[in-house]
Amino acid sequence: MRLEGRTALVTGGAGGIGAATVRRLAAEGARVIAADVDLERADKVAAEVGAQAVALDVTDGAAVRAAFAAAGDIDILVNNAGTDRFAFFLDTDEALWDLVLDLNLKGVLHCTHAVLPSMHRRGGVIVNVASEAGRVGSQGSVVYSAAKAGVIGFTKAIARESARYGVRVNAVAPGPIETPLLNSAPVQLGELGERLKQGMIDATAMRRIGQPEEVAAAIAYLASDDASYVTGQTLNVSGGLSMS
């Protein structure tokens, strides 16, 4: 029970990696708040493990500030909320750019900005869910790749600023994971999307798709005292998609 007595808030906690993280952190003893724009689904996940669910749109700065004020002191923040719309860059427009950047990058900024004043007083841990797309680039996900690269850079900078306050900040970079997001590629792009998905899997050294629980395990490690001397790092959880 590495996280007993700690309060964790997981954004995008209603499904995929977020739901797996809610379950894992609860199993580690944390009091968990599953925050998601889809409150009904978040409630179902929270009910499984005796967690709490709250409605939260991370792109709305005022809503984020209000939600964090109501939640009280947060010991662990997992910035997981994100989305993508698979398309080649010339087929995208500014509306798509705003959607992907607001949720994947600006949402991380909103939540981190809201939680840091408390953490700077008492310490804490932030784990950001980035992506291998932000490290190596992913065709059909150019704006998403840019947003996740921003999350990685943000992680390093905030880790440097906050270390003296006892706050550790790290990221995980999942590769191809069995989630609704990845599985939407064939739906959005048809056969081309299926080839893109399979290409990601084939590019891993382990030649298989990952499971949300495998990412959640890495997040739990970074959130725990087992990683007490780890900050500013991005841990690949990608079956060897990249090795740097």
Within a 10 A sphere around the Cβ of 71, how many other Cβ atoms?
Answer: 18
Token pair of 38, please? 């889809």
As to burial, measured by CB atoms within 10 angstroms (0-12 exposed, 13-18 middle, 19+ buried), residue 16 is buried
Token pair of 196, please? 């893109």
Token pair of 171, please? 């990221």
| CA–CA dist 7, 80 (Å, integer) | 16
| CA–CA dist 194, 224 (Å, integer) | 37
- CA dist list (Å): 156 to 98, 147, 226: 24, 15, 20
Residue with tokens 């081309």: 192
> Is 229 labeled as catalytic in the residue annotation?
no
**What is the H or E stretch that residue 154 is in?**
helix 142-162
Q: Which of 144, 165, 221, 229 is catalytic?
A: 144
End-to-end CA distance of the chain: 31
Q: Do the beta carbons of residue 120 and residue 167 sit within 8 Å?
A: yes
* Length of the chain (residues): 244
Residues annotated catalytic, as ranges? 144
